[in-house]
Amino acid sequence: MIKGKYYELIKYTSPSVSPMIAAGKVMKELEPECKVVFIGPCVAKKAEAKVEDLKGAIDYVLTFNELEDIFRVFDINLEKLHEELSTQYTSKGGRIYGRIGGVSAAIENTIKHMFPDKANIFSSEQASGIKECKEMLENALHGKIQTRFLEGMGCDGGCVGGPKSIIPEEKGKEMVDKFGNESKVHLSAKNRIMNEFLRELGINSFEDFNDREKIKVFERKL
């Protein structure tokens, strides 16, 4: 939307790739032969995986509806399967990305932790759904917004309101918040396992994020 209609705002847009692309790129860097399958409620992810400068990070994209169909066709009942417990290393900040306000909260909490002297200057505004996103961008274009960080989610409520969700938006938000609160890691910056992955990528300190070459898997040219 920004590239197509609000190009004047492109210079203010974060060059960060989406969590889907970032995760895929990291896995491909660490295990080049692996196949990456993304599963979610978003139809747009199918197109994103094919974008020229992002191709290769994700091999296949399935929606929740498609996965539900697969389970039904093969008569797979998850409730009857043995649960294999694994180490849960995702931070609360990462887990709540899927609902509106989650990205803003994650960034604000990280700033408070890493730059406490600058925390008071952070402010954010959220837009839920295409209509609100357009209104927010129009306001930004005409200098009517004073906040420093704008978070726009194309689907109402965020990813939890995606067109291929299999539960209501409010229930999805409730489950996302519950999942976030269950994490033993509040901040991604304090995620021990994630920091180990970063070291394998040659990122050994916060200062290394100033090296564009080292963090290229997390960014794209806009």
| Model confidence pLDDT, tens digit, residues 158-198 | 999 999 999 999 999 999 999 999 998 988 888 888 899 99
Nearest to 152 by CA among 5, 11, 13: 13
Quote the CA–CA distance of 29 and 40 in Å, as a whole number: 23
Chain segment 75-105, per-residue pLDDT in tens:
999 999 988 766 667 899 999 999 999 999 9
- Average pLDDT (7-13) is 95
Confidence (pLDDT) at 87:
63
* Distances, alpha carbon 10 to alpha carbons 136, 139, 187, 222, in Å: 14, 15, 28, 7
Confidence (pLDDT) at 130:
96
pTM above 0.95, yes or no: no
Structure confidence at residue 138 as a pLDDT band (50, 70, 90): very high
Confidence (pLDDT) at 83:
82
Average pLDDT, the chain: 94
